[in-house]
Amino acid sequence: MSLPAVAVTQTPEAKFREYLATRARAQRFTEQQREMVAYIFSQHSHFDAEELLDAMKRDGIRVSRATAYRTLAKLVDAGLLRRLEIGPRTHYEHDYGYPQHDHLVCTRCKKMIEFQRPEIDQVIRDVCSEHLFQIAGHTLFVRGVCAECNRARGNRRLDLV
C-alpha cells in the first residue's frame, strides 16, 4: 500500500470478466467470484487463503474453501493477483493496478514493507544476459526485523540470524 497505484482503465471485475470471456472455452462469472473480487480489491493487500476465508466469513461472504482456492488461481492467471511464495502458506497481493516491487518481511510481526529499486531489475537483467537466461520474473524477500519491532525489543541483538 506504500507505493503509488498504477493507472488502470478497467475495474478489477471488468478485467476479470474479460479474462474469463476470452479463454479458449469461455468460463463463467459467478456470484462467488464477484463477491471475492469485490472483497479482495476493496481492502486487502497481502493475505493468504486462510486469512481471506476468515475475513470473508466475518463479513458475511459465504464462499467455500475449494471455491476460494479455485478463484484465487484464476485471479492469478488473469493477472489480478500475484502469488508470494513465502513461508508455508501462499500469500497473494494485488497485481493489477500496482507497480512491480519487492518486500522486506518482518520475522517478528510478519509485516511486509514494499519497495521499488530499478537497480535491482537492472542487475538481474545483466546477470541473465550474461547467462543467456530468459527472465520470466523474480522473487526477492529480505527477512529481518522492522523498525517498530526493533524499537520494541530495545535493540538487544545486533547479530544476524
Partner DNA sequence: ATTCTTGCAAAGCCTTTGCAACTGC
Partner DNA sequence: GCAGTTGCAAAGGCTTTGCAAGAAT
Residue ranges that bind DNA, judged by CB under 7 A: 20, 25-33, 48-50, 62-67, 69-71, 73, 88-90
- Output the nine-digit C-alpha cell for 114: 514494499
The nearer residue to a second copy, 31 or 130, going by C-beta atoms, is: 130
Site for a second copy in 10-39 (CB under 8 A): none
Cα three-residue angle 1-106-45, rounded to 5 degrees: 25
Measured CA to CA, the distance from residue 75 to residue 37 in angstroms comes to: 8
Give which of DNA, a second copy, none residue 7 binds (C-beta under 5 to 8 Å, depending on kind): none
In angstroms, give the least distance from the CB of 123 to DNA.
Answer: 29
Give which of DNA, a second copy, none residue 63 binds (C-beta under 5 to 8 Å, depending on kind): DNA
Measured CA to CA, the distance from residue 72 to residue 50 in angstroms comes to: 12
In angstroms, give the least distance from the CB of 74 to a second copy.
Answer: 16
In angstroms, give the least distance from the CB of 102 to a second copy.
Answer: 8
- C-alpha distances in Å from residue 108, one per residue of 53, 103, 125, 149, 158: 23, 15, 32, 7, 15
Closest by CA to 18, choosing from 4, 5, 37, 32, is 37
Q: Name the site residues for a second copy (rule: CB under 8 A).
A: 85-87, 104, 106-107, 113, 115, 117, 119-120, 123-124, 127-128, 131-147, 150, 158, 160-161
